[in-house]
Amino acid sequence: MKDPRQGSALAPASPETEAQNDGWAQVTFAINSILQLSAPMLMKIEVEEHDPLFIDFRHGAFVWATDLNELPVDAGNVTFETEQAIEGRPPLFRLPGYNLDLLLWVLGNHAYRGRLAPWLRPGERYRLSQWPNLGQHLHEMTQTQMLAVLGNGYFSPVELAAAAGAPEDEAYNLINALSLLRLLRVSEEVAALVVPQASTGKADKGTSLFARLRARLGR
């Protein structure tokens, strides 16, 4: 993919708009901050040995020549620039681009490597508010099991891992991704609902925990 900019470019980075980090953590933190503000921002992300990644938050879209399935998780030097979009300025790239949710899912699952994202606080519990579009996200069976558990009560990442029989680092990663996607309810007051670990035997589709959750959420 060639450079997507069409008469609209980010300004040169200044010390206030450029950051360097070890991997994707600070980039993901910046993206979350922009999403919280619902700000009409533009972002350019530079990754060593890859073409730039461009995000236009006004349209919830991004473009990148690199396939997300080949995200360089261990990239040691990632820099980014942000700029507020000027009203009336053309899109940063040819729309529709790719749905930003695709990038949020991948970053949420990889940026913090089994640790709680810094915008989330220890002591919080989380519950699924809406089912993610698993048809567009690469996912593991353990993530599906954890989603089913999260639809039935509030859990910390450690409690979620225990209830779903999943590794704790994967539970942290899933919580981070769902938080980026704005698909969680958060509580520091509600006690966790203990869900028995799923049986390894064949379950009836109509009565399984997964099927009940999908029916409840209307997905």
Domain segments of the chain: what residues?
18-110, 125-217
For residue 53, the number of C-alpha atoms closer than 13 Å in the C-beta half-sphere is 24
> What is the pLDDT, as a whole number, of residue 209?
52
Lowest mean pLDDT across 24-33, 125-134, 146-155:
125-134
Q: Torsion angle, CA of 64/66/69/73, rounded to 10 degrees?
A: -100
Give the model confidence (pLDDT) of 44-64 as tens digits.
999 988 999 999 999 999 999
Higher pLDDT, 23 or 198: 23
Mean pLDDT of 64-90: 86
| Whether the predicted pLDDT of 191 surpasses 70 | no
> What is the pLDDT, as a whole number, of residue 197?
52
If you search the block for the tokens 């261990």, which residue do you land on? 74
pLDDT band at 86 (very low <50, low <70, confident <90, very high): confident
Q: Which residues of 178-196 are buried (b: 16+ CB within 10 A; e: fewer)?
A: bbbbebbeeeeeeebeebe
* pLDDT more than 70, % of the chain: 74
Mean pLDDT for all residues in the chain: 80
> What is the pLDDT, as a whole number, of residue 165?
93
Mean pLDDT of 129-156: 85
Contact 25, 80 (CB under 8 A): no
pLDDT band at 135 (very low <50, low <70, confident <90, very high): low
> What is the pLDDT, as a whole number, of residue 131?
85
> What is the pLDDT, as a whole number, of residue 14?
36
Q: Which residues pair with 54 in a beta bridge?
A: 44, 63
Q: Torsion angle, CA of 174/122/179/68, rounded to 10 degrees?
A: -50
Contact 123, 155 (CB under 8 A): no
Q: Which range scores top for mean pLDDT: 76-85, 103-112, 203-212? A: 103-112
| Whether the predicted pLDDT of 206 surpasses 90 | no
Q: Classify domain 125-217 at the CATH topology level.
A: Arc Repressor Mutant, subunit A (1.10.10)
> What is the pLDDT, as a whole number, of residue 151?
92
> What is the pLDDT, as a whole number, of residue 87?
82
